[in-house]
Amino acid sequence: MSEIVPNRGIWINGVERPGRSGKKLDVVNPHNGLTLATVAMASRDDAEDAIVSAQSTFRTQLRDMPIFERAAILRRTAEEIRKGSKELIEIVVAEAGKPIRDVTREIGRASTLLDLAADYAMVQTGQVLPMDIVESGVNRTGLATRVPVGVIVAIVPSNSPVNLTINKVGPAIAAGNAVIIKPSDQTPISALWLAAAFKRAGLPDGAINVVIGEVEEAIEPLVRDLRVRMISITGGVPAGLAVIKAAGIKKVVLELGSSAANIVRADADVASAAKTLATSAYLSSGQACISAQRIFVHESVKEEFVSAFVKAAEAMKIGDPMDPEVEIGPMVSQVQAQRVLGWIEEAKAAGAKVLTGGVAVARTIAPTLLSDVSDKVTLASSEAFAPVAVLEGFTDDDAVIEKVNSSIFGLQAGVFTNDLKAAFRFGKDIEAGAIWINDSSRYRQDNYPFGGMKFSGIGREGVQYAIEEMTEWKFVGFKLGASKGIL
């Protein structure tokens, strides 16, 4: 990254330009506190320009663009990411504070996701429907097709800024939609980089716009506008509730996080489960919605598990996220670190035991495992989004399933067992959008339906399933000859 702090703006109709709110945003490196860039933020007029640009491009170019052209643009953008990966990786490490080894995986996954979106764009299908299921349908036939919804607003958090943007934009473009990206204030530079990459790949101006700004001036006007036909947000429950209240009658996909549960039965490979769950809980300072937060271990193997887990946790390297050996970088802000330290102190005051960690270190929190955590404290029920996990023993499968399902969340879960019958039972009875057997809640790839139950969200991501969310059924009926009745 350059030592000179650049002035950046917003991306409207294929051009990066200053926002007109008169307000500035400093993008700060969480690791060293240095300012990376100053961004001129958007006004309501800028939000209006983004909507006009997106709607015009959708109507005049995108919705009638041949599928092979959309697919080719997605593949060329994937190649732009691969060619520019070194620069993009450095940007994300600097603005998000995420370790370079984790960011490298993220960027690789994003380019693969675009190739996958191109593949799925090529196999979209409709239906030919027989109408003669009733007498009046004789000599009638029908075509049911999926059509793009139009203008989509994609609201993206800071923890995986490239991949979570591509998760939304790739399927949207594959389906023929235009997208307005609202990145996190912490990570706008990577969003601007991606917009420019799509432009270089041949995406028409206006198909992607990037709006950076405050809720009242930039986000709320986008969410409320009737010309915006869908909102896709990855964020917290308060943000999701605000979107639901403001959006009105339009499609909404909400991915709102979790306090992900993971279960280790007595018949599991305990050492392997412990190592896997330590990585799941603490990688990138635990700043992932599917990080292992609640860990339930059978009492007969709890001592063995804790010993192996603590050893693995304490071996994880903390430090400069540009160091390829570092697994735990800074939390996204010191405000968030202090919030979680407060939650730990609350749990300790209610009788919790700290098995490892529990203290601030190197602009994050040392990998922390607590036991004997009261159900009444914040850590027992809220998403920590930090390198903190809570441990609880169990002896009965029914009881632990009930405990897991008592959460308001239900995004992903992990179950470690070598009993096939038990694996199917847990997969059926746990209330979560996805359950991984012999892997942690943190594993994710992009060809399965990803999304939550209960307060974890509405709708699904995963390329094929996101395309379905970002399209609508449209029916055209034909009367081809004489027919009885008007029904």
Return d(Cα 444, Cα 255) in angstroms, integer: 14
Cite the residue boundaries of each domain of the chain with CATH code 3.40.605.10: 7-256+456-473
Q: What sign has the CA pseudo-torsion 167, 173, 179, 183?
A: positive
Backbone CA torsion sign across 403, 409, 410, 411 = negative
Catalytic residue among 106, 217, 289, 383: 289
The CATH code for residues 7-256+456-473 is 3.40.605.10
Mean pLDDT of the chain: 96
Determine whether 472 is an active site residue. Answer: no
- Paired tokens of 263: 């279960």
Res 16: pLDDT: 98
Instruction: Answer yes or no: are the C-beta atoms of 322 and 347 closer than 8 Å.
Output: no
Q: What band does 487 get if pLDDT is binned at 50, 70 and 90?
A: low
Mean pLDDT of 22-41: 96
Contact in structure between 262 and 277 (CB atoms under 8 Å) = yes
User: How sure is the predictor about 484, in pLDDT bands with cuts at 50, 70 and 90?
Assistant: confident
Q: What is the mean pLDDT of residues 297-326?
A: 98
Q: What pLDDT digit, counting tens, does each position of 341-357 carry?
A: 999 999 999 999 999 99
Q: Per-residue pLDDT tens for 249-308?
A: 999 999 998 999 999 999 999 999 999 999 999 999 999 999 999 999 999 999 999 999
Residue 2 pLDDT greater than 50, yes or no: no
Q: What is the pLDDT of residue 3?
A: 57
Angle subtended at Cα 484 by Cα 480 and Cα 487, rounded to the nearest 5 degrees: 90
Q: Which segments of 7-128 does DSSP mark as H helices, in order?
A: 44-57, 67-83, 85-96, 100-121
Q: Which residues of 359-388 are buried (b: 16+ CB within 10 A; e: fewer)?
A: eeeebbbbbbbbbebeeebbbbebbbbbbb
In terms of C-beta density within 10 A (0-12 exposed, 13-18 middle, 19 or more buried), how is residue 475 classed?
A: exposed
> Considering the chain, what percentage of its residues have pLDDT values greater than 70?
99
- Return the ∠ at Cα 33 (arms to 30 and 35), rounded to 5°: 100
Q: What's the pLDDT tens digit per position in 442-483? A: 999 999 999 999 999 999 999 999 999 999 999 999 999 998
- The radius of gyration of the chain's CA atoms, rounded to the nearest angstrom, is 24
Chain length of the chain:
487
Superfamily of domain 261-437: Aldehyde Dehydrogenase; Chain A, domain 2 (3.40.309.10)
DSSP character string of 281-295: HHGGGG-STTS--EE
Any catalytic annotation for residue 255? yes
Cα gap 26→4, rounded to integer Å: 13
Phi then psi for residue 458, to 5 deg, are -135, 135
CATH 3.40.309.10 residue window(s) in the chain: 261-437
Lookup: tokens for 330 = 């800074």
Task: Mention every residue, 6+ apart, whose C-beta is less than 8 A from residue 169.
Answer: 154, 179, 181, 194, 198, 208
Q: pTM value?
A: 0.96
Place of tokens 């943007």: 165
Task: Using DSSP, state whether 254 is helix, strand or coil.
Answer: strand
Confidence of residue 5 (pLDDT cuts 50, 70, 90): confident
Beta carbons within 8 Å of 424's beta carbon, 6+ residues apart: none
Q: Whose CA is closest to 210, among 65, 79, 54, 45?
A: 54
Distance CA(335)–CA(339), nearest Å, equals: 6
Model confidence over 131-173: pLDDT tens digits? 999 999 999 999 999 999 999 999 999 999 999 999 999 999 9
Half-sphere exposure (Cβ direction) of 88: Cα atoms closer than 13 Å: 29
Q: Given CA atoms 220, 95, 14, 73 in this order, what sign does their dihedral have?
A: negative
pLDDT at 1 over 50: no
Given a cut of 60, is residue 437 above it in pLDDT? Answer: yes
Q: Is pLDDT of 4 > 80?
A: no
CB atoms within 10 A of CB 127: 11
DSSP annotation of 215: I
pLDDT at residue number 23: 96
* 8 A C-beta contact, residue 362 and residue 342: no
Helices 100-121 and 85-96 meet at what angle, rounded to 10?
A: 120
Helices 188-200, 67-83: axis angle to 10 degrees equals 130
Q: Which of 80, 95, 217, 255 is catalytic?
A: 255
